[in-house]
Amino acid sequence: MSKKLQKDLKETVKFLQKEFKKAPDVGIVLGSGLGNFASQIKIEKEVPYGDIPHFPVSTVKGHSGKLIFGRIGEKIVVAMGGRFHFYEGYTPQEVVYPIRVMKMLGIKTVLLSNAAGSVNPDFKVGDIMIIKDHISFFTPNPLIGKNDDDLGPRFPDMSEPYKRTLIQQAKAIAAKNKIDIKEGVYVAVTGPTFETRAEYKLIHVAGGDVVGMSTVQETIAANHMGLPVFAVSIVTDIGIRDDDNIITHEEVLQAAKEAEPKLALLFNQMIAAI
């Protein structure tokens, strides 16, 4: 990593620490259609991305584009209302920039969420799936380039990209609250096209359960820095079907919005237990 990135990160962190004095415990990334989760936060400070030095700016419908600082119960959280996607034209390094910033602000855990299409016949629209592992379907690795040993190692281990203890905790919370929760493998694609029928089939055969356009680059950057990750997908559409299903962004946002209360319960209780 370049000296410039180090300098930029330091400036961003310094700016945010002036805006909000307390160190957050947990970072949260809200996926497409899941921005309502922000209403769970007792908001103490909101900083639009455009005001933050060196931050990319979000452009996608359904993403509000601000960093939200506040409390959930006793815990101090920082949430990204909207994330940066590779398909928007950001570099993989830009996509993961906020994850690095949140780590440097002091978070000890990051919770990621996304909307995804299912290729698992046992899943239905509205299901929550805990991500236990991932496959990058040609999404560029954000660590390509000179390594910064201050951030993490050259060749990070990825045998447990999603922290097992957090997965156990999530399953226990789901069982207690009678939420039917799935678990599976997230396949990351670049987008912005949804997949062809042949691609959905390939993703299924390759061992994927759901497919989406985010999360994996963020997870890689978090693992690089030794930051534990918990991530969930909301199933917003079914990729493998024999009828003429056409997938739209509106349908994805609507399905995510409807499933959001389940996600809120899960994240709230996880944050309390962290």
For the bound state, the minimum distance from the C-beta of residue 32 to ligand HPA, rounded and expressed in Å, comes to: 7
Query: Which residue number is nearest to ligand HPA in terms of Cβ?
Result: 117
Question: Which of 79, 116, 229, 263: binder of ligand HPA (CB under 6 A)?
Answer: 116
69 versus 194: smaller Cβ distance to ligand HPA: 194
For the bound state, the minimum distance from the C-beta of residue 255 to ligand HPA, rounded and expressed in Å, comes to: 9
For the bound state, the minimum distance from the C-beta of residue 236 to ligand HPA, rounded and expressed in Å, comes to: 5
Question: Which of 16, 166, 213, 225: binder of ligand HPA (CB under 6 A)?
Answer: 213
Strand partners, 76: 71
Distance CA 12, CA 55 (A): 8
Are 33 and 232 within 8 A, CB to CB? Answer: no
Which among 59-67, 127-135, 160-168, 188-196 is the span making contact with ligand HPA, rule CB under 6 A? 188-196
Amino acid at 69: F
For the bound state, the minimum distance from the C-beta of residue 195 to ligand HPA, rounded and expressed in Å, comes to: 5
Question: Which of 55, 84, 90, 194: binder of ligand HPA (CB under 6 A)?
Answer: 194
Q: How many residues bind ligand HPA (CB under 6 A)?
A: 15
Which among 41-49, 115-123, 163-171, 174-182 is the span making contact with ligand HPA, rule CB under 6 A? 115-123
Please spell the DSSP secondary structure of 127-188, one letter per residue: -EEEEEEEEESSPPPTT-SS--TTT--SS---S-SS-HHHHHHHHHHHHHTT--EEEEEEEE
95 versus 211: smaller Cβ distance to ligand HPA: 211
Q: Which of residues 223-262 bind ligand HPA (CB under 6 A)?
A: 236-237, 239, 247, 252
Strand partners, 48: 66
Are 68 and 36 within 8 A, CB to CB? Answer: no
Distance CA 233, CA 252 (A): 12
Which parts of the chain fold into alpha helices (H)? 3-19, 92-105, 164-176, 197-205, 216-224, 249-273
Binding to ligand HPA by residue 60, rule CB under 6 A? no
Angle of helix 216-224 relative to helix 92-105, nearest 10 degrees, comes to 50
Distance CA 34, CA 36 (A): 5
Question: Which of 24, 65, 70, 117: binder of ligand HPA (CB under 6 A)?
Answer: 117
Question: Which of 46, 195, 209, 260: binder of ligand HPA (CB under 6 A)?
Answer: 195
Are 113 and 232 within 8 A, CB to CB? Answer: yes
Provide CB contacts within 8 A for 238, sequence distance 6+: 117, 118, 123, 124, 125, 245
Which among 4-12, 114-122, 124-132, 264-272 is the span making contact with ligand HPA, rule CB under 6 A? 114-122
34 versus 115: smaller Cβ distance to ligand HPA: 115
Binding site for ligand HPA (CB under 6 A): 115-117, 189, 191, 194-195, 211-213, 236-237, 239, 247, 252
